[in-house]
Amino acid sequence: MLPMLSVIIPAYNEARRIGPTLDAVIAWLQGQPLPHELIVVDDGSEDETRAVVRQRLEGLAFTRLIETPENRGKGHAVRTGMLAARGDLRLFMDADNSTPVNELPGLLARVRAGAHVAIGSRRAPGATTDVRQPWYRRTWSRVANRVVQAGLLEGIRDTQCGFKLFTGAAAEAVFARARIDGWGFDLEALALAQRLGFPVAEHPVSWSDDPRSRISPLRDAWCITKEFFRIRRAFRRGEYGLPA
């Protein structure tokens, strides 16, 4: 029996970008053999995101829209979707389709080779981008990488690419313990996966820059740094139920 695949897309005020992404994901899912489901988690959007999603998902039995009453952050939306999913394999990807769903076979191959978490990487050899990232995105990436190298994770070059595949077992174990709602949720999820003994593998992906990104280099670098120390402190105090 083929494993079931869940695709989770977190969304907050994505009315202008999520429609084409959903069209692409639905078409890809319908063209491949794995049993599948598509879950969109609306994180308290204040624009027409929910209306756009409902229109795109209408009549498709394998899709769900989960609505949260208030905006709590991408980490909360991803966690909600991953724990609501039924798949043996669970991918979360960005609403702007910066890494398209047709990059998924590479991650699936990593899982077949033994990984329980396969993550898209813009830094791994073979990765491609359509344009050189603007300075603030490069700054953001460098800050995140330095945070990682400060001692939370080992051997991971790109923690922030929003294209990550978990086995069902890894997703349940990691996201049941996770608590970070903001940008640092990627760091937390990967650190938990490593400490729980789930092999993590990076895979080069194609990535497209969207100039409409809401990343703020100073604000978000400060937030992720604070969350990094919060995660480190939580591990030391045993708050995740794991040895320090």
- Which residues are marked as active site? 186
Q: Which of 30, 27, 28, 57 is nearest to 41 (CA)?
A: 57
DSSP, res 2: P
Q: Which H or E run includes 186? A: helix 185-195
Burial class (CB in 10 A: 0-12, 13-18, 19+), 80: buried
C-alpha span between 216 and 201 (Å, rounded): 28
In DSSP terms, 7 is beta-bridged to: 38, 91
